[in-house]
A and B are shown apart, each in its own frame.
Chain A
């Protein structure tokens, strides 16, 4: 089945130790997103890729970086995790469809998330 896969599902890291979270998709969607979600809160968009074009949210800390080596994979790198970065990290994909008059927003499909713990 076509899907969004995140690895690992649970990640424990130490304060200040770099960590990389992985997302892959079999949907062949052209847009991939990374969200941070803290307990009892809505997902917060960190950045997204439209094909190879990277789009950072204005309030995303420099500590968070991303790579998209190909259509299927996208990585979230946290260079120096702090205690406040402990959260669920969600990857999502969507397919921007070109129609007469422009692009059409479409559904975002989420992966199961990676729960990050910072010790």
Chain B
């Protein structure tokens, strides 16, 4: 569903460690999922997407895992760097909508040097 909270979940990691950001999505009919990175004062930036006919997809330093059974999505970032510090949002295509995305609450990732 939509995010309504004022307090973002946070994840703090050391530079070089791997990061895992989790997301529980709301609608079992959703079949397209996206991870966005949003730095302070900027628009969301596309990272990686996955469709429901897959359970894993890899990009450069990032992997998305999809578990449809428990409606869970995760983003793994390998060798996390200070430039990865941002808020990360998962988004689902609202019950299979062709047009709409429903965003998760967001997770603030802080990378310590």
Residues of A near any B CB (own CB < 8 A):
4, 6, 31, 39-45, 48, 50, 55, 90, 92, 94, 96, 102-105, 107-113, 115
Contact = CB atoms under 8 A, between A and B. Distances in A.
Given A42-B105, A96-B99, A109 B6 contact: no
Contacts of A112: 42-43
29 contacts: A4-B43, A31-B99, A39-B6, A40-B7, A40-B8, A41-B3, A41-B4, A41-B6, A42-B2, A42-B104, A42-B105, A42-B106, A43-B89, A43-B103, A48-B99, A96-B99, A103-B98, A104-B98, A105-B32, A107-B34, A107-B49, A108-B46, A108-B91, A110-B43, A110-B44, A110-B45, A111-B43, A113-B42, A113-B43
Interface of B: 2-8, 31-32, 34, 36, 41-46, 49, 89, 91, 93, 97-101, 103-106
